[in-house]
Amino acid sequence: MEAYIDSNIDIDSEYIEGQQSIIVSFAGCNFNCPFCFVPQYLEFSNEYLNDLKVIKSEIERISQNANNIVFTGGEPTLQRLALGNLCRFSRNFNLSTWIHTNASKPNVLRYLLMNQLCDNFIIDIKSPLEEDIFQRTTKSANFFMQSSEIISNIKKSLELLYTYLPSISVEFRTTIFPGVMQDEHHLEEIAKTISRLHPIWIIQNFKYDEEEGILNKALLKSIKERIPSYKYLEGIKENLQRRFPQIMIEIR
């Protein structure tokens, strides 16, 4: 079986803080977020088309040096068969399995959960689940699917994950996008959506690289001066933590 997966697989100690994690990056994504940290994985590029035997060989080679394996991307749930196959394979090495997803494919998450292929989920929640800001943040609507349907699918995913608690762990991550998604109101609406899952919620400040860049230059120039300070975000965190004590909030 072939899949669009980067064969350069390594161990990272920051992806899951304090733990050694094998990072497997799937290519191809159904979102087109302007602030994407890994734009090289947005497309199903033939550069990343590999036989799963190659990927498995790399996982096995470094498995003894890791605690976890994280399937990320891109969006790994767009390649259900390959993802399920690799999750099952990873069980052979006593690795804790994590899926990092935008939660837009509830049927794939259901497949993974029903077959006990994954116990840990990192959910990128890009914005409040309201059409206007969601579309501005994700640029995900297309000819085949509108923002309203994608949002509906995310809600189905969150409801599904809730039914499997406490046998699974769920962590949310949100990236601040200056000028679009950064207000306390925006973050409060996300907190309302996720609070019943009692998760860890990591709020990531916007980051950019002048050389490589994660945005086109014109867009980067327009928002650089509006990146919020960590002091501002810490203030929001304190307010949210008081209102939603069931969420463990971190600012990075």
Token representation of residue 76: 């790994």
pLDDT at 213: 47
For residues 56 and 93, the answer to whether their CB atoms sit within 8 Å is no
User: Which CATH number does the domain housing residue 130 bear?
Assistant: 3.20.20.70
Q: Distance between CA atoms of 64 and 189, rounded to whole angstroms?
A: 41
Domain that holds residue 83: 2-251
pLDDT at 195: 96
- The secondary structure element, H or E, covering residue 69 is strand 68-73
- Count of structural domains within the chain: 1
All residue ranges of the chain with pLDDT < 70 are 208-225
Can you tell me whether residue 205 is helix, strand or coil?
coil
Q: What are the tens digits of pLDDT across the range 140-185?
A: 998 789 999 999 999 999 999 999 999 999 999 999 888 777 788 9
pLDDT at 178: 80
pLDDT at 232: 87
Which stretches of the chain are DSSP H helices? Answer: 52-62, 80-90, 106-114, 131-138, 147-163, 184-194, 217-223, 230-243
pLDDT at 177: 83
CB-based contacts of 233, cutoff 8 Å, min separation 6 = 176, 203, 205, 251
pLDDT at 209: 58
For residues 204 and 174, the answer to whether their CB atoms sit within 8 Å is yes
pTM of the entire predicted model:
0.92
